A and B are shown apart, each in its own frame.
Chain A
């Protein structure tokens, strides 16, 4: 069964540094997403991406965050100047469509630890 893959599985970074999280969505999917989950809290939406542009973003997704699809397979999340409160699990997801009950399929996440 095709799956979403994410790298690295764990990233440790000093506060203030830039970090790039990478994702390879399922190949025939057109919609891509990033979510985060702070330890012990619920999964929160960050951003969705379709047709090479952001389609929706949450209040969390401020100017420190950006997304990119640099080639035909990768989808990246960049955090420009990390803060302690950015420590969380970051999940990439993809879906074939957004209509009806099309589910989003999640990668196994990148654990980001900011020191």
Chain B
């Protein structure tokens, strides 16, 4: 069964705070991992891909632990514009026999307050 679980939040944090989101996925036969953000009633937008060694993009750091089937996203120095729902997304499938579909978590809502 392919499932992605996230803490639904909401997370209410002051500007400048550091906030961390966690995500677990059910199927060890997983291929690719992403964080998307979704503003209210808008489309999901790619925030970053998540690589096995972990990766950073400015204030955003993503980590992957395949053994624990766990993904995290850290946002440093949060801005008002970071307020959104953060979606953990997994593409399941074996290497060489890729699946096409993305499986989404329900998302964690973040509100950054002045």
Residues of A within 8 A of B (CB): 31, 33, 35, 41-45, 48, 50, 55-56, 58, 89, 91, 98-109, 111
Contact = CB atoms under 8 A, between A and B. Distances in A.
B100 A56 contact: yes
A43 B104 contact: yes
A43 B87 contact: yes
Contacts of A48: 100-101
B43 A91 contact: yes
15 contacts: A42-B87, A42-B104, A43-B104, A44-B104, A45-B101, A50-B100, A55-B100, A98-B100, A99-B98, A100-B32, A101-B51, A103-B49, A104-B102, A106-B45, A108-B42
A89 B43 CA distance: 9
10 nearest interchain CB pairs?
A48-B100, A45-B101, A101-B49, A43-B104, A106-B43, A56-B100, A42-B106, A103-B46, A108-B43, A98-B98
A86 B107 CA distance: 22
B39 to A, nearest CB: 10
A104 B45 CA distance: 9
Give the one of B44, B49, B99 with max A CB within 10 A.
B44
Contacts of A101: 32-34, 49, 51
